[in-house]
Amino acid sequence: MELNPALTEYLAHLSAERGLSGNTLDAYRRDLNQFIQFIRDRGIDDAQDVCKDDVIAFVVALRRRGLAAATIGRRVTSLRMFSHFLVSEDLINHDLTAGIDLGRSPQRPLPPTLTIAEIDSLLSAPSPDTVLGLRDRAMLELMYGSGLRVSELMTLKTTDVDLTARLVRPFGKRSKERQAPLGDSAADLLMRYLAEARPSLANSASATALFLGERGEPMTRAHFWGSIKRYAEQAGIRKRVTPHTLRHSFATHLLAGGADVRAIQEMLGHASVQTTQRYTRVDVSRLREAYDRAHPRAK
């Protein structure tokens, strides 16, 4: 993927899903635009073509300019976070900063996940007895039940859902389509949404978009992010909840239930199993809990 569109998507993620301020976004934009311009001056436009030497050369160039250590550290951190985002979103299949000592950086924790009880509370928050509540309940059930990216959810068409076969066909990164399983709860709600809610929302601006706003326009990720935040508060969930929280909870709960990592990789649409394997990390307390519960000599 070209670096400029990738940066645009990253900044949209920081704004819509992490709620960063305009000043913070501008700082990230300036730092990463310097890296992109440096790379373009070396004749590279595609993130997949960036190699270890290019990144090292960028860091060396910053040091040669005599910039303060804190300034270099901030730009390096911006680059690392950008690279991690590209990998996590499957926009590239390798970490641009992997194997390069860019300064101390703690191991990134996994994004927060919800417990099954919290998921139940969140999914029950929208009332299926209203048009918008039925739409929102169907969206939440589909995202958690199928592990979709928020961008995939927003771009679904009515023809991308097969209620008979219980499948959904999201259009993922790098224009790659895949098939994801559709749970019974999500299928039932989608059937109701298509029959009862969508017709009352649709107008000439709707085209074939599956999920529609109040004025009939296709739903946006920013609108959906706001809805999730509102329903999380309504459900009494104290954690920070974003659309990505549902996708990460989907993967974590599958793994905890015994699903194979390769199968989860296919369902998430990850190009590399290494991206999926981050869900296999568990902390010591969880290991201890599992040991105490399962081992005959634990107590």
Which residues are annotated as catalytic?
149, 173, 244, 247, 270, 279
Contact call for residues 191 and 199 (beta carbons, < 8 A): no
Contact call for residues 41 and 61 (beta carbons, < 8 A): no
Q: Kind of pairing, strands 180-181 and 167-168? A: antiparallel
HEC profile for 1-60?
CEHHHHHHHHHHHHHHCCCCCHHHHHHHHHHHHHHHHHHHHCCCCEHHHCCHHHHHHHHH
- Helix axes of 3-16 and 22-41: crossing angle, nearest 10 degrees: 170
Please give the structure tokens belonging to residue 96: 């641009």
